[in-house]
Structure 1
Amino acid sequence: METKPLFSTIVAGKYKGKKLMLPSLESTRSTKAILKGSLFDTLQYDIVDEVFVEVFGGSGSMGLEALSRGAKHAYFIEKDKAAFGILKRNCEAIDTMHTTALHGDSFIVFPSLISTFTCKAYFYFDPPFSIRDGMENVYENVLKLIAAIPQEKAHFIAIEHMSELELPQNIGLFTRQKTKKFGKSSLSYYM
């Protein structure tokens, strides 16, 4: 039996209504529309002409939404080969000039990527939930990754995580501003 491809839609901005393919649910977990809306309601116009980095790229829906809403460039890192193929197709369908999709392990690629930045960026972390096989230490590793971000390179950091997980008040030099719950997923904001 052939499975139908899954899609999400860009919600607002110059690419509003454009469809994005989603990877299979075995390789990634797509972000809920309500959660995406909340993030971009928080960011509003702050992301205009800014760099947005989706550290665990998946389909690229968050970075492509940021681009649609005025970000000047979106970077994505994705380890899963099938998901990366879909991410590349989504970037090509939306905007090849202002997107960079990197295939590899976020824990290895991310530090070298931000070392090339000469400006501040907005960072979005949506790691695989720790209930997945092989992901038991994912949040611990994400916190180490965030703590190593130079403060002069970050406007804002958002982390999508399991609601039952209480993230620390401080990660390195960054302080949690708020956490919003959306059922099993939550968003925590750091500056």
Structure 2
Amino acid sequence: MVRRNPKNPVKQNSGRGNQSSANSGGGSGFVRIISGKWRGRKLPVKNVEGLRPTTDRVKETVFNWLAADLYDAKCLDVFAGSGGLGLEALSRQAEHVTLLELDKGAAAQINQNLSALKAENATVKNVDALQFLSQTGQAFDVVFIDPPFRKELLNDAIDKLEKNGWLSANALIYIEAEKEFGLPVVPNHWDMVKEKHAGQVSFRLYQREEK
């Protein structure tokens, strides 16, 4: 459950075939857990065309932002890629993480890594993320959206998350996108509470306020 007061925020898949995003730990061929109960663990990443790593530096910043909100949270990793963001959330005591990944091999690798960690509180769905989000959903407390670059998937994912019931009343939404994309189109009741840039990447944390 998200505990942050929306008025006083804490200062903190390959999803589509070869249109992959990867949340790997800054190294080639593996994802590294930054902190939590699996701190320092390195896990293999499936070699899928288009996998794009999120660096350790960015990941560390993001999870510092979320540190107070992950305990017992229900999390959704929309374009899971390597599963690095979802695995990090699990390491930091999230209650459950659902990971969406279209590429069959990448999804299988995430499942293998979860087995290696003996993590039973995660579900990997080998699905097209946007098709999956088109159905009526369950509410998640923390959502990670790190879509493949230059595929025009981000705004559609945001729209489906909001309209189809995938977000809890005060959900936190992490968005990573290419800097050239600019600000994503978000609902008026999503407040941006954090923003940073690293190289060609912009990453932001939003908090939803129930309408």
TM-score scaled to structure 2, two decimals? 0.76
Give the secondary-structure state (helix, strand or coil) at the position aligned to 2:168.
helix
Cross-structure match for 2:204: 188
Cross-structure match for 1:28: 51
Q: 1:156 aligns with which of 172, 176, 185?
A: 172
Higher relative contact order structure (alpha carbons within 8 Å, sequence separation ≥ 6): 2
Alignment of 1:48-63 (within 5 A): 48-63=71-86
1:115 aligns with 2:137: yes
1:69 aligns with 2:84: no
Cross-structure match for 1:141: 156
Cross-structure match for 1:127: 147
Q: Which stretch of the first structure deviates more once superposed, 58-67 or 91-100?
A: 91-100
Aligned length: 179
1:28 corresponds to which letter in structure 2? L
Give the secondary-structure state (helix, strand or coil) at the position aligned to 2:58.
helix
**Structure 2: unaligned runs, 5 residues or longer:** 1-27
1:95 aligns with 2:118: yes
User: What are the superposed Cα offsets for residues 79-129 of structure 1, whole Å, 9 maximum, x if unpaired?
Assistant: 0112112111112112341110001000112354x7234xx4100000000
**Structure 1: unaligned runs, 5 residues or longer:** none
1:103 corresponds to which letter in structure 2? N
CA displacement at 1:173 relative to structure 2: 3.0
1:84 corresponds to which letter in structure 2? A
Cross-structure match for 2:13: none
TM-score scaled to structure 1, two decimals? 0.84
- Give yes or no for contact 1:59–1:90 (8 Å, CA) kept in 2: no
